[in-house]
């Protein structure tokens, strides 16, 4: 918890007055939103766009002013977590089920700052099951088509029922083991009818702030 808080707080130092800020989702992004809330109380003037209903509710509770997406041309900086990060700054995201909004927000951002602990750094992506957001209609067919790409796909459950995203879709968690060619895989997945998007973020991150067990925090860029 302490490490997550520290990397999150290091990322929030990049936020300046007047910025539009993208708020990530997850237990590390939680601390970034907390810190932003504290800075807003001290007088920081920002507007925010959240990547999930949960992060939006937290931001509102903390008094962070939100702005409708339609009213901004771009986001200055987005701070978000990740499930895996490789040497080329490719990411797996979506462990918290928010990958679609996270990717839309990241793509609209001038800078995506990713906050992780050292356990998320990997040589090759794929140990973490890749989340794929898919529409409910025809999910079994979509699942079979995804499995043709060389994985086992499982429908994500929550309290025994299928997990439903903020966008009303399902998540298939796909066990690839290793992903040799992430860029190729993202295109192949997104070409399957029924797939809305997947959790591979190909070179979207500008900075990776990493917390190490010994307390050191490093910024990779
Ligand atoms: C949510 C995400 C999160 O950023 C990712 O799962 C990391 O979460 P945490 O900081 O709790 O480990 O992609 O969809």
Segment 167-211, tens digit of pLDDT: 999 999 999 999 999 999 999 999 999 999 999 999 999 999 999
Express as a percent the part of the chain with pLDDT over 70: 100
Q: How far is the centre of ligand 1, averaged over its atoms, from the C-alpha of 55 (Å)?
A: 12
pLDDT in tens, 93-122: 999 999 999 999 999 999 999 999 999 999
Mean pLDDT taken over the chain: 97
Is residue 31 predicted with pLDDT exceeding 80?
A: yes
Q: How far is the centre of ligand 1, averaged over its atoms, from the C-alpha of 93 (Å)?
A: 6
The predicted model gives 61-75 an average pLDDT of 98
Residue partners of 9: CB distance under 8 A and separation at least 6 = 31, 32, 35
Architecture of domain 130-197: 2-Layer Sandwich (3.30)
pLDDT value of residue 1? 73
Q: Which SS3 state, helix, strand or coil, does residue 46 take?
A: coil
Ligand 1, atom 6, residue with closest C-alpha: 95
* Structure-token pair, residue 58: 């937290």
Pick the CATH number of 2-118+202-213 from 3.40.50.1360, 3.30.470.10, 3.40.50.2300, 1.20.1260.10: 3.40.50.1360
Judge whether 118 counts as a catalytic residue. no
Name beta bridge partners: 134: 170, 195
Report residue 5's pLDDT band, with 50, 70 and 90 as the boundaries: very high
Q: How far is the centre of ligand 1, averaged over its atoms, from the C-alpha of 164 (Å)?
A: 16
State the span(s) of the chain assigned CATH 3.30.70.260: 130-197
Ligand 1, atom 4, residue with closest C-alpha: 81
**Ligand 1 pocket: which of 23, 93, 102, 104 to mutate (most atoms <8 Å of CB)?**
93
Q: How far is the centre of ligand 1, averaged over its atoms, from the C-alpha of 139 (Å)?
A: 24
Of the residues 9, 56, 84, 102, which is catalytic?
102
Q: What is the CB < 6 Å shell around ligand 1?
A: 24-29, 80-83, 93-99, 102
State the span(s) of the chain assigned CATH 3.40.50.1360: 2-118+202-213
Q: Which of 138, 55, 64 is nearest to 98 (CA)?
A: 55
Nearest atom in ligand 1 to 4's CA: 10
Q: Which of 38, 34, 44 is nearest to 7 (CA)?
A: 34
């Amino acid at each position: 918890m302490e490490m997550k808080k520290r990397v999150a707080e290091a990322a929030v130092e990049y936020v300046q007055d007047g910025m539009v800020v993208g708020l990530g989702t997850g237990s590390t992004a939680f601390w970034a939103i907390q810190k932003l809330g504290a800075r807003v109380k001290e007088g920081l003037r920002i507007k925010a766009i959240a990547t999930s209903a949960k992060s939006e509710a937290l931001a509102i509770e903390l008094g962070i002013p939100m702005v409708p997406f339609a009213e901004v041309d771009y986001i200055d900086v987005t701070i978000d977590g990740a499930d895996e990060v490789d040497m080329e700054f490719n990411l797996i995201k979506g462990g918290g089920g928010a990958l679609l909004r996270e990717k839309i927000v990241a793509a609209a951002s001038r800078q995506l700052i990713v906050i992780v602990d050292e356990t998320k750094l990997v040589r090759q992506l794929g140990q973490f099951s890749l989340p794929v957001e898919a529409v409910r209609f025809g999910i079994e067919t979509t699942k079979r088509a995804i499995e043709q790409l060389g994985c086992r796909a499982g429908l994500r459950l929550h309290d025994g029922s299928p997990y439903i995203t903020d966008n009303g879709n399902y998540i298939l968690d796909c066990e690839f083991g290793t992903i040799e060619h992430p860029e190729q895989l993202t295109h192949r997945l997104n070409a399957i009818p029924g797939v809305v998007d997947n959790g591979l973020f190909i070179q979207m991150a500008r900075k990776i702030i990493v917390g190490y067990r010994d307390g050191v925090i490093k910024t990779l860029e």
